[in-house]
Amino acid sequence: MTEDLSPLADATAQELAEEDFETIGDYHRMAAHHFQAAAKHHLAAATADDDGDEETQARHAFLAYRHQLNGVQCAEIAMMESDTLDDEFDVPSDENA
């Protein structure tokens, strides 16, 4: 695997995650970043498992899971902030009646 999966790469991703996002697209981009990082860590975990390296496998599995959670959170924020989708379960307010 030639991808950089070092703690420094994760620190850079953490710095990006802490920036204020201004658009829904920013949340979509960050979700994609986290999902891509999760996939890379899953592949690294699989390779470590194949090599019998349980410590490395566990570390990459944890990092993959953490990125997946962050990706889902960003995707959910993007979806909730989207004004183009109507919630079919919204109860009309008295003002709209």
Integer Cα distance of 59 and 80 in angstroms: 32
Angle of CA points 28, 11, 80, to nearest 5°: 25
Residue 31 corresponds to which tokens in the numbers above?
């979700």
Quote the mean pLDDT of the chain: 82
Whole-model pTM over 0.75: no
Residue 29, CB half-sphere, CA atoms under 13 Å: how many?
10
What are 46-91's pLDDT values in tens digits?
999 999 999 999 999 999 999 999 999 999 999 998 876 666 666 6
